[in-house]
Every structure is written in structure tokens, then in C-alpha cells.
Amino acid sequence: MPAPAQHRIIFDTDPGVDDAMALLLALRSPEIDVVGLTTVFGNSTVDVTTRNALNLLALAGRTDIPVARGAGCPLVMPLGGTGEWVHGDDAMGNVGWHAQLDPAQRPVDKHAAEFIVEQVMAHPGEITLVPVAPLTNLALALRLEPRVARNVRQVVMMGGAALSPGNVSPVAEANIYGDPHAADIVFAAEWPIVMAGLDLTESMHADNRIWHLLRDSGDPFGVFLARAVGFYQSFHATWYGLENGATYMHDPCTIAYLIDPTLFEGEDWAITVPVEGPAKGATIVDRRGKFYKTPKVHCLLKGDETGLLRLFQQRLAKIPPQ
Ligand code: RIB
Ligand code: CA
């Protein structure tokens, strides 16, 4: 009998090339049981991100996992720019996903926020929320049922930049900038949060050594990711000047943290998020621990890139453990 998974997760996502990397890594990891996917705007509209979520599950042969469609716009602001310039017209690296792979697949008849509340309250202390997109669905879940905060096991998120510069403004990271009001609600709630922000994720790269391994592996997950990553690689080359096909491993850091938290180091700081002005969407951390009264967030600052890539290639390119 295989050992039971150590983490039951709801993956809150805007797929997205790096979202696909994270999801396929999770689906290949015995430590993780994916209870459901919740979708949100971000890398594209919620129509597109929901279609991509359904397609990823079809590709993975996991149409048993429910998808709950969530917010199509931020809580307060109008929908701003979406991320096709980073992820391609189909938000999946221009693999040509302009329709569903399995047209019969449907999201569940429930909003993402309702799905989160229902699952968390039915399994107190068991569910880990893994948001890797704007935090609108989590904020809505808190508004719908504030007791979710005390009933989740933890929140392990990709977003923010504690000490690093931003990636969509001088100070703001995309997922937080996408809905700063939601982010501020999420950081103020009484749940344990681990934040994999740009401090960590821009220090974790995969380059052509990994992408070619996946491409040549014959593993359908690895081969798909190697195809989808091309557009994302070009973006990283032109925008950041990264070489040898390197890309940042933003969203996969959340799953790697769940699998092996010893790969990462961080600090505990309370966070506030300005919702307007030039600092909109920044994650301001109280490093002196004197100014903000909200719960402290565990901000990951460093990681073992070799360890992350070892996990990635073992699980997605059928490379046996050394
Ligand atoms: O800033 C990186 C984040 O923005 C990732 O979650 C990526 O998928 C994009 O949504
Ligand atoms: Ca994402």
C-alpha cells in the first residue's frame, strides 16, 4: 500500500506555463493529493485559465479532480492587463489550446470561493491552500466564511516580493498587483502563510539542461512542459536577459516547499499591501516587527536550486533518484 499523501491541497491557479509546471509536479508527487483546482484571472481571462486548467487535467488523465471557476476580475479595481505577453496567446506557451481537449469536461457548478469554503469546513485542519495567482478567490472565501482561516492547515502561496524589486512595477509582483485589495485581506487573516515571493523564485532557474532532458525523456508530462516553455523562455531572454533558455521557477517553488521544506529558508514578517499609488501591490514587510499587528508571514528568501531541479527532473523526466 502506498503511504498516504502528507498534503491535501486546493491549487488556486491562473494557468499559465509555470502554473502547469507546478500542477504537473504536484500530480506526480506521492506527498501531495490534489483535492481540486480553483481558477482565477491573471495570466489570462478566467475563461482561458479555466479552459487551461481543464486541459491540463485531461492531459494528465486526472479528470476526476474537480475544477471550480472563480473570479474574473479583482475585488475593487477593474480587470487590468493579463499575462499573455509572458505566457502566450493561449496562456500556455502558444501550444494551440484554443479549445478544450475534452469538450465534455465542465467546471463544477460552484464558485471557487464556495468550493474552498466547502472543502475546508468539511475537513478542518487538513486542507492546504496553494494560491499561485491573484488572491481574489481566497479573499472571497474569507468574506463568505471567516472561519476558513482557522480551519485550513496552511496557505503556501506564490506572490509578493519582500526585499526584491517587483516584476510588474518597480515594487510589485504580478499576483499581488493583480488584486492588491484581496492580498491585503489575505495577509491580515489568522491563517499560517508561507510566501514564495520573487526573493526566492527569481533565484530558482531551470535552463536548457532541464528543458532538453524533459523534451527527450518520453515522459508525456515532461515532453508537454518542454513544448509549452518555449514562449516563456523567449520572454525571459528578452525581458530579463537570461541565457541558455533559463526561466524562473515561480509557481513550482510552492509544490517543492510542500514536498521538502528543508530546501528553503526564510524569515517571519507581518505584511501590508498598499492598494493605490506608486507602491500599489507592493508587499511591505515589517522587518523590525514593531509596526504591523497582523499575523507574521513566513517569507521564503533562499532555496536550494539544485534540490528543486533534482525533484523536477526525477518526477517529470523519469530520471531515477541518485
Ligand atoms: O510573478 C509570477 C507569477 O505571475 C506566477 O504565478 C506566474 O504564473 C504569473 O501569474
Ligand atoms: Ca501563476
Task: For residue 233, give Cα distances in angstroms to 88, 98, 212.
Answer: 11, 21, 13
Q: How far, in Å, from the CA of 220 to the mean position of ligand 2?
A: 21
DSSP assignment string, 100-136: -SSTT----SS-HHHHHHHHHHHSTTTEEEEE-S-TH
185-197: average pLDDT: 98
- Report pLDDT digits (tens) over 260-302: 999 999 999 999 999 999 999 999 999 999 999 999 999 999 9
Q: Is 161 helix (H, G, I), strand (E, B) or coil?
A: coil
CB of 83 sitting under 6 A from ligand 1: yes
Question: Which ligand has the minimum distance to the alpha carbon of residue 87?
Answer: 1
Fold of the CATH domain 7-316:
Inosine-uridine Nucleoside N-ribohydrolase; Chain A (3.90.245)
12-24: average pLDDT: 98
pLDDT for residue 321 is more than 80: no
What is the structure's pLDDT at 320? 53
User: Which cell numbers hold the place of 13?
Assistant: 491557479
Question: Which ligand has the minimum distance to the alpha carbon of residue 179?
Answer: 1
What is the structure's pLDDT at 319? 65
Instruction: Report the candidate in 297, 231, 163 with the shortest Cα–Cα distance to residue 18.
Output: 231
CB of 69 sitting under 6 A from ligand 1: no
- Pick from 29-33, 80-84, 110-114, 269-273: least confident: 80-84
pLDDT for residue 144 is more than 80: yes
Residue type, 265: E
Taking the CA of residue 16 as reference, the ligand 1 atom at the shortest distance is 8
Report the relative pairing of strands 264-269 and 193-196 from DSSP bridges.
Answer: unpaired
Average pLDDT, the chain: 96
162-189: average pLDDT: 98
177-196: average pLDDT: 98
Q: Which residues are catalytic?
A: 14, 250
Q: How far, in Å, from the CA of 290 to the mean position of ligand 1?
A: 30
Q: How far, in Å, from the CA of 303 to the mean position of ligand 2?
A: 19
Task: For residue 320, give Cα distances in angstroms to 210, 224, 310, 313, 314.
Answer: 14, 20, 10, 9, 6
What is the structure's pLDDT at 1? 66
222 close to 216: Cβ distance less than 8 angstroms: no
What is the structure's pLDDT at 3? 79
CB of 129 sitting under 6 A from ligand 1: no
What is the structure's pLDDT at 322? 46
Tell me what percent of the residues of the chain surpass a pLDDT of 70.
Answer: 98
200-213: average pLDDT: 98
Backbone angles phi, psi at 158, to 5 degrees: -105, 125
- Report pLDDT digits (tens) over 100-137: 999 999 999 999 999 999 999 999 999 999 999 999 99
pLDDT for residue 91 is more than 60: yes
CB of 118 sitting under 6 A from ligand 1: no
Distance in angstroms (rounded) separating the CA atoms of residues 301 and 180: 21
In this prediction the pTM is 0.97
Q: pLDDT confidence of 15, banded at 50, 70, 90? A: very high
